Structure 1
Amino acid sequence: MKITDKLEKHQEKSAKPTFSFEYFVPKTTQGVQNLYDRMDRMYETSFPQFVDITWNAGGGMLSQLSTDLVATSQSVLGLETCMHLTCTNMPVSEIDDALQRAYESGCENILALRGDPPLNSKEWTPVEGGFRYAKDLVKYIREKYGDHFGIGVAGYPEGHPEDNDDRDKLVEYLKEKVDAGADFIITQMFYNADIFIKWCEAVRAAGVSVPIIPGIMPITTYAAFLRRAQWCEINVPDEFMKKLDAVKDNDQTVREIGTDLLVSMCQKLLDSGFVNHLHIYTMNLEKAPIMILERLGLLPTDKDVSDAAVAVLPWRKSLNPQRRKEEVRPIFWKKRPYSYVARTSQWAVDEFPNGRFGDSSSPAFGDLDLCGSSLIRQSGKKSLELWSRPKTVEDIARLVIRYLERDLNCLPWCDVALNNEVDVILEDLISLNQNLIITINSQPQLNGIKSSDPVFGWGPKDGYVYQKQYLEFLLPKEKLYKLQDSLKDNTMLTYFAVDYEGNLTTNHPDDYKANAVTWGIFPGREVLQPTVVEKISFLAWKEEFYHILQEWKLNFQNNQIQESVVLLDHLIGDYVLVNIVDNDFVSIDNKMLKLLHEI
């Protein structure tokens, strides 16, 4: 959705001000992965109206990182994303590529900027065949894409380093950008609310009526505060300097006092009547932006969180238009949304017919190459920091228990932090791992929980949601026969088990393609079945899971940690990957747990 439409829709329902976050593209692969986690976590904490991603000026691979981040944010994280796009070092061909990738990912918002001069140049000059001014870029986007994109432009309340002496001229330039087709304005950072308000008066007097969104830069350290203020050549009020200079050697106190100063400034902006939305330059940090929002009273209330927690589906839906019909996913990728979306990114729109998961046999589904060269989203060094050097199966079990106890936010086969859904079976999961049944994925049973429930709810209001208990785990091969014997004639506990070589055993009926493990009943519509267990997708997941173990092992080989290499070989060669579904979702008897303890 366009930013302007989203803000207008919110203001029709509530007078409460809104906010958004800006992130820059990290320079390392691990930094990118960590940023995905932080963006996801900050969204769950605060529910911003949108996020935006800065542009890596320079073209080529650097610029592709920006479009990659935008595509992941839209398609995998399901966040409304605005992409910066600059004219710096950008011939039209590269601008076309960037716009096309944004369009294909479902991005509907562009912040069109001229951009700063390249690092090794004191003067800004256009590249051959490129644009000289932001207004030219705005016109080009409008001519090429019509009204598809909401287009933002930059505003400079305190002037621009190249035209700092003529504020009236800068307002004229701003009006030209808006007349060229811009829909909203995001401003340069500032610390003087009075200057900003006077600038807003001048902008409105010039006939510019589009939303003005102030850019807010948190104060985290004294050195960074001074450096950014000097670089942007902005006015710093005496009050700021007096209070911050007195504590400049204490970073924690600087952040506390700086937050209070910014909160007072932001409140003055909101009271002015010119703005009702704050855009926070996060600098990829989490604490400082959240502190500002908390003290302004803009973080979601318990009711807001409850309403927001009731998602359309039990997994966050992609904002990629090619996935608009998708309403069903295999449960195996519940905690690996990145690889699942990557696997299915090439599926045509009609491969999600009526939202049903009907095409797991698509060649694209099982193609690991779609996930990139690495399936573990952590670097080799970070993997060692997070998961150390396990030498025994007991060490692996302790890692999983640490994850279940929320001491770890991820595991090699799990990208996302544990949610509250599993709290009702948490003791059982810990017990299984203590008995060296390594749990991979799980969900508890539900029998008619209201769709508005803040933990389990999803879908339209006034409905009821259901779940079958599900457990996925690693089991020693020598114990598989006990599982097979116990479940041979069991119609309520259905299972799939597969080893590294692809040998599959199951008691799942051959004539049933998929087993719905989550579903919802809602007024006036058909049953929704958003997560399923079925054979073809399980075999594709098996390939991915064992590939993850192979990658983990390779990292130990590269670091000459032989005991860990031997352990991973043991897991790969001597264990089977198993999933069990308890189809008796109304029973209070935990048959699955009893079975596994017997085994």
Structure 2
Amino acid sequence: MRIADKLKQAEESGTPYFSFEFFPPKTEQARIREYGGGLVNLYDRIERMGRTEPAFVAVTWGAGGATAQRTLELSEACQGIFGLDTLMHVTCTNMDQAQIDQALAGARAAGIRNILALRGDAPRGAEQWAACEGGFTHAVDLVRYVRATHGDYFCVGVAGYPEGHAESADKEQDVVYLAEKVAAGADFVVSQLVYDAELFVAWVARCRDAGITCPVVAGVLPVQSYQSFRRLVHLTKVAVPEALGKALEDVRANDQAVKDVGVEHAVATVRRLREAGVCGVHFTTLNLESTVMRVLHALGTEPLRRPAPTRALTAARAEPGTTAVAAAVPVGAASAPGAWDDFPNGRWGDARSPAFGDLGAYASTYGAAPPRLDGAWGAPTGVGDVTALFVGYVEGTVASLPWSDEPLRAESEGIRAELARANRLGFWTLASQPAVDGTPSADATCGWGPRGGYVYQKAFVECFVAAALFPAFLSRLQSAAPRITYYAANAAGDFMTNAREGDEGTALTWGVFPGRAVVQPTLIDKMNFLAWRTEAFYAWAQWATMFPAGSPQERFLRDVADGCWLVNVVDNDYKKADGIWEMFQ
């Protein structure tokens, strides 16, 4: 069904409705069988959440079509297997006309009639957005093209910006641009994330005054974790009500309490929107289930007891030339309800989780500003310059790194001196944590989860190591096995580890709480290490783009990236608090 028709019917009768947004898991297709299948697990989750009868579900599109096939297959599954009207995102970024034609043809072949036409953000490595040759400059161009080539077959949604697009100097002009997209053929609007209901209500009124009469759906993302929320606000510049900001600051060290605050605020936001006559809410789920379902429960929405589909898709395609719909396994075979949802899931999450991935992809969907390369990290031409930058960051005199836009967390205070020493020796640290042996879960520095429990964590350090230092470092790590587990990779794709083939991964953090099984929210394994490796080495290239091509700084940074190794070191003896530093000599 055309989504706009369904939304108009609901709004004419004043009936509240909601929708969900998912993304293709970061788990690579070729590794799905090896790692248990984040996509298979997501199918189970979508089936359960689909029993709440959402108006539609949306599937995101990676920049430049990076997830094109997975997006299409996930969209096809949502619609063809789970019977949910599906909105497939399509962006202009790095997409020429031929690629757009291919995406639209794939959607038609899969029976998908609803798309969200987006411009997208700057391609990776570019400071500012620019259309590729043969591509489209604005979302309105994509809307016009879809109408010109496919007529009324597709129901077309577009993005709206209640607080103005992050790149726009004139926020009021954004309403004019939105009106142009609607005039070009858009059928409905999905907004950027909303945390201040009053701002959204006022913006909708301005849209109506500008002649925009189509349905406007409010984007809502319940806060899942303090750090991910901070990152999202940094990227999107979205307004945060003072009460929400204070409530999160007060409980920032208690992950469960952060989720509770997120649920409470999301429920209040949706209720206020409904009071103001806003019928539709679009939940960005981050592929997580429990928080959004808690919001719906508080709003009076419960899953229906409808029969489950007779099959769900496997994550691997049946054979070349066929889509994933051709292969099927029973629903419910892969994961238990709510699995992986209790605590933050991101960089260090289980690679089998549907939520394994990067929040950045979500923050950019509805108008994130591209990274500003403003020279804050200097103009390095030698190893000493890079070392000074990392040492300054660890010691608190440098505010950020190309790999981190926030200062060290409080738990690193106790290891700050050791981190500074390691960095001076040439081990440029990206991530770390101290060993913790049974700290109360209420502890303000290292605690997390429900009160009344105890938390544990192994010391780990992740760093870049120059090629000249790497052989001796590797020898030291190997000699310390099995106490030390390491993962190492370079930009060329070489990989080393002393983890045994078939290991399930190395636990980094876990907790024991009253009335619950042991909770293990973070671990490191080959899958999530290699996924992060790509991002870590990309940051060197992004840093290099600050400088003119061929300049000493640009050449130096690219040479360093080509020559160093990314190494993750875990000390499995969490009772030996300082043992890991023996490796950094």
**TM-score, normalised relative to structure 2:** 0.53
Please state which structure has a larger fraction of its residues in helix.
1
Structure 1 position 20 matched with structure 2 position 19: yes
Task: Say which SS state the counterpart of residue 64 (structure 2) adopts.
Answer: coil
Report the CA distance shift for 1:265/1:10 in structure 2 as closer, same or farther (over 3 A): closer
Q: Structure 2 residue aligned with 1:257, among 248, 253, 261?
A: 261
**How far, CA to CA, are the matches of 1:110 and 1:372 in structure 2?**
20
**How far, CA to CA, are the matches of 1:247 and 1:133 in structure 2?**
41
Report the CA distance shift for 1:71/1:42 in structure 2 as closer, same or farther (over 3 A): same
Report the CA distance shift for 1:269/1:372 in structure 2 as closer, same or farther (over 3 A): closer
Report the CA distance shift for 1:210/1:77 in structure 2 as closer, same or farther (over 3 A): same
Displacement after TM superposition at 1:11 (Å): 5.4
Structure 1 position 131 matched with structure 2 position 136: yes
**How far, CA to CA, are the matches of 1:34 and 1:20 in structure 2?**
20
User: What's the counterpart of residue 192 of structure 2?
Assistant: 188
Task: Structure 1: give runs of 5+ residues left out of the alignment.
Answer: 317-333, 344-366, 378-402, 419-557, 561-599
Report the CA distance shift for 1:286/1:261 in structure 2 as closer, same or farther (over 3 A): same
Displacement after TM superposition at 1:161 (Å): 1.4
**How far, CA to CA, are the matches of 2:117 and 2:323 in structure 1?**
31
User: What's the counterpart of residue 245 of structure 2?
Assistant: 241
User: Cα deviations across residues 87-115 of structure 1 (Å, max 9, x unaligned)?
Assistant: 00101111111101111111111100000
User: Cα deviations across residues 61-110 of structure 1 (Å, max 9, x unaligned)?
Assistant: 63222112112222222221100000001011111111011111111111
Displacement after TM superposition at 1:231 (Å): 0.8
Q: After the TM superposition, which segments of 4 or more aligned residues of structure 1 sit over 6 Å from their partners? A: 371-377, 415-418
**How far, CA to CA, are the matches of 2:246 and 2:336 in structure 1?**
42
**How far, CA to CA, are the matches of 1:250 and 1:78 in structure 2?**
38
User: What's the counterpart of residue 172 of structure 1?
Assistant: 176
Report the CA distance shift for 1:24/1:152 in structure 2 as closer, same or farther (over 3 A): same
Contact 2:116 2:158 in 1 (8 A): yes
User: What's the counterpart of residue 8 of structure 2?
Assistant: 8
User: What's the counterpart of residue 430 of structure 1?
Assistant: none
Contact 1:90 1:130 in 2 (8 A): yes
**How far, CA to CA, are the matches of 1:253 and 1:85 in structure 2?**
36
Give matches, 1:140-219, under 5 Å.
Answer: 140-163=145-168, 165-219=169-223
Aligned residue type for 1:253: A
**Matched pairs, number:** 332
Displacement after TM superposition at 1:409 (Å): 3.7
Q: Structure 2 residue aligned with 1:40, among 40, 44, 47?
A: 47
Displacement after TM superposition at 1:15 (Å): 4.1
**How far, CA to CA, are the matches of 1:21 and 1:210 in structure 2?**
20
Displacement after TM superposition at 1:374 (Å): 11
User: Cα deviations across residues 298-346 of structure 1 (Å, max 9, x unaligned)?
Assistant: 335xxxx36xx3xxxx775xxxxxxxxxxxxxxxxx4x4547x988xxx
Give matches, 1:378-527, under 5 Å.
Answer: 409-410=332-333
**How far, CA to CA, are the matches of 1:337 and 1:258 in structure 2?**
31
Task: Say which SS state the counterpart of residue 130 (structure 2) adopts.
Answer: coil
Which one is further off, 255-264 or 173-182?
A: 255-264
User: What's the counterpart of residue 266 of structure 1?
Assistant: 270
Aligned residue type for 1:248: R
User: Cα deviations across residues 176-200 of structure 1 (Å, max 9, x unaligned)?
Assistant: 1000000000000021111111111
Task: Say which SS state the counterpart of residue 188 (structure 1) adopts.
Answer: strand
User: What's the counterpart of residue 276 of structure 1?
Assistant: 279
User: What's the counterpart of residue 69 of structure 1?
Assistant: 74
Aligned residue type for 2:191: T
Report the CA distance shift for 1:374/1:31 in structure 2 as closer, same or farther (over 3 A): farther
Aligned residue type for 2:187: D
Contact 1:57 1:63 in 2 (8 A): no
Report the CA distance shift for 1:150/1:417 in structure 2 as closer, same or farther (over 3 A): same
Report the CA distance shift for 1:373/1:209 in structure 2 as closer, same or farther (over 3 A): closer
Report the CA distance shift for 1:196/1:337 in structure 2 as closer, same or farther (over 3 A): closer
Q: Structure 2 residue aligned with 1:52, among 28, 51, 58?
A: 58
Contact 1:56 1:65 in 2 (8 A): no
User: What's the counterpart of residue 87 of structure 1?
Assistant: 92
Contact 1:222 1:244 in 2 (8 A): yes
Report the CA distance shift for 1:42/1:159 in structure 2 as closer, same or farther (over 3 A): same
Aligned residue type for 2:106: R
Task: Say which SS state the counterpart of residue 58 (structure 1) adopts.
Answer: helix
Task: Say which SS state the counterpart of residue 260 (structure 1) adopts.
Answer: helix
Q: Structure 2 residue aligned with 1:290, among 287, 290, 293?
A: 293
Contact 2:312 2:328 in 1 (8 A): no
Task: Structure 2: give runs of 5+ residues left out of the alignment.
Answer: 338-500, 504-585
Displacement after TM superposition at 1:264 (Å): 1.1
Contact 1:85 1:113 in 2 (8 A): yes
Report the CA distance shift for 1:64/1:112 in structure 2 as closer, same or farther (over 3 A): same
Aligned residue type for 1:89: N
Displacement after TM superposition at 1:375 (Å): 6.7
Contact 1:138 1:177 in 2 (8 A): yes
Aligned residue type for 2:298: R
**TM-score, normalised relative to structure 1:** 0.52
Percent of aligned pairs sharing the same letter: 41
Report the CA distance shift for 1:253/1:139 in structure 2 as closer, same or farther (over 3 A): same
Report the CA distance shift for 1:296/1:370 in structure 2 as closer, same or farther (over 3 A): same
User: What's the counterpart of residue 481 of structure 2?
Assistant: none
Contact 2:179 2:212 in 1 (8 A): yes
**How far, CA to CA, are the matches of 2:69 and 2:298 in structure 1?**
37
Aligned residue type for 2:19: S
Aligned residue type for 1:43: G
**How far, CA to CA, are the matches of 1:297 and 1:204 in structure 2?**
29
Aligned residue type for 1:179: A
Contact 2:121 2:129 in 1 (8 A): yes
Task: Say which SS state the counterpart of residue 298 (structure 1) adopts.
Answer: coil
Aligned residue type for 2:53: F
**How far, CA to CA, are the matches of 1:371 and 1:137 in structure 2?**
26
Task: Say which SS state the counterpart of residue 6 (structure 1) adopts.
Answer: helix
**How far, CA to CA, are the matches of 1:52 and 1:559 in structure 2?**
35
Aligned residue type for 1:291: R
Contact 2:317 2:327 in 1 (8 A): no
